[in-house]
Amino acid sequence: MPELPEVETVKSSLEPHLIGKTIKEVKVLYKNLIDTDDFEKKLVNQKIIKLNRVGKFIIFHLTDKTLISHLRMEGKYFLRENNDIYKHDHVVFKLDNGLNLVYNDVRKFGRFKILSKDKYLNEKPLSNLGPEPKNANVNQIFRILKKKNVSIKTALLDQKVISGLGNIYVDETLFESKIHPLKKTYKLKYFEVKKIIENAIKILESAINMGGTTIRTYYSTMGIDGKFQNRLKIHTKINQPCLNCKQKIEKIKVSGRGTYVCKNCQK
Ligand SMILES: [Zn+2]
């Protein structure tokens, strides 16, 4: 599943091709991906002013609207010069330069929504998002976690608490912070929360610089593969020796998600 660094990679690889282009036609081939019946009509003749990212959402700033796109499990974008439709193509945006921006999604979990031009951050679903780690206030996150009785991994996956982290980067962040993924949030000390946020910032930044992580089915736009998988220290490393203590890395389930942990280092 694409997380913050992968979505950032998709955004920045699309950006140079889309800025200043006008959407001439929209075809939605799978209606469940969109939120309104007049989706196609609303986007015609809208110019793409700029692209942005908030949490794991790609934000298309248009002439007088904001279009948001969430890739969920397997969403991908392609730019095509022809009008051919391939398997799993669900939305086609025809641009005024003849290119088609195609949204392709094997699992069909991705979502689009049209929001207002200026108040989009105050509209759902963006208004429900917590801050990204780099904008997070440690005091505030500490207070939120103190009141919760869930595991720290579950809390970090909750986009309302903090946005942008998913399964891979939560595992990496908790390993770096030496905290067990099942540790209850109310038991965390202030310095531990501070460490978690600092490590999340560091790991996400380094993953963005490497174009994200390519694991199994996830590839970013136009075949650009992330390189961060080579830097993973714990995620996917079952039965391999921990880089700190050489003890075998174990795989457990937390909130139904495969979770990798060194039980010796992470307490
Ligand atoms: Zn260890």
8 an active-site residue?
no
Q: Identify which of 231, 243, 253 has the alpha carbon closest to the alpha carbon of residue 262.
A: 243
| 223 class by beta-carbon count within 10 Å (0-12 exposed, 13-18 middle, 19+ buried) | exposed
Spell out the domain ranges in the chain. 4-128, 133-261
* Distance (Å) from CA 262 to ligand 1 centroid: 5
Residue 265 CA to ligand 1 center (angstroms) comes to 4
CATH code reported for the domain at 4-128:
3.20.190.10
Residue 59 Cα distances to 37, 48, 71, 257, 260, angstroms: 20, 10, 12, 27, 32
| pLDDT at 225 (0 to 100) | 58
Measure 194 CA to ligand 1 centroid, in angstroms.
21
pLDDT for position 3? 84
| 257 in active site | yes
The torsion angles phi and psi of 22, rounded to 5 degrees, stand at: -110, 140
Of the candidates 213, 230, 231, 234, the one whose C-alpha atom is nearest the C-alpha of residue 171 is 234
Catalytic residue among 56, 111, 195, 237: 56
Please pick, among 27, 47, 178, 257, the residue that the annotation labels catalytic: 257
Q: How far is the CA of 18 from the centre of ligand 1 (A)?
A: 45
Check if 4-128 and 133-261 are the same fold. no
Q: Within 13 Å, how many C-alpha atoms sit on residue 178's CB side? A: 9
Q: What is the pLDDT of residue 228?
A: 75
Tokens of 13: 């690889």
Query: How far apart (Å, rounded) are the C-alpha atoms in residues 94 and 23?
Result: 6
| 103: β partners | 77, 91
The helix/strand/coil state of 3 is coil
For the sheet containing 76-80, what is the strand order?
23-28, 89-95, 100-104, 76-80
| 2 is known as an active-site residue | yes
Per-residue pLDDT of the chain (267 residues; tens, 9 = 90+): 678 888 898 898 899 999 999 999 999 999 999 988 899 999 999 999 999 999 999 999 999 999 999 998 889 898 888 899 999 999 999 999 999 999 999 899 999 999 999 999 999 999 999 999 999 999 999 999 999 999 999 999 999 999 989 999 999 999 999 999 999 999 999 999 999 999 999 999 988 888 776 654 334 445 445 677 778 999 999 999 999 999 999 999 999 999 999 999 999
pLDDT at 9 (0 to 100):
87
> What separation in Å is there between the alpha carbon of 234 and the centre of ligand 1?
10
Distance CA 254, CA 125 (A): 25
Q: Which amino acid is at 227?
A: K
Q: Which CATH number fits domain 133-261: 1.10.8.50, 1.10.260.40, 1.10.150.120, 3.40.47.10?
A: 1.10.8.50
Q: For residues 142 and 188, what is the distance between their CA atoms, to the nearest angstrom?
A: 8
- Sorted by sequence, the CB contacts under 8 Å of residue 94 that are 6+ apart come out as 23, 24, 25, 26, 27, 100
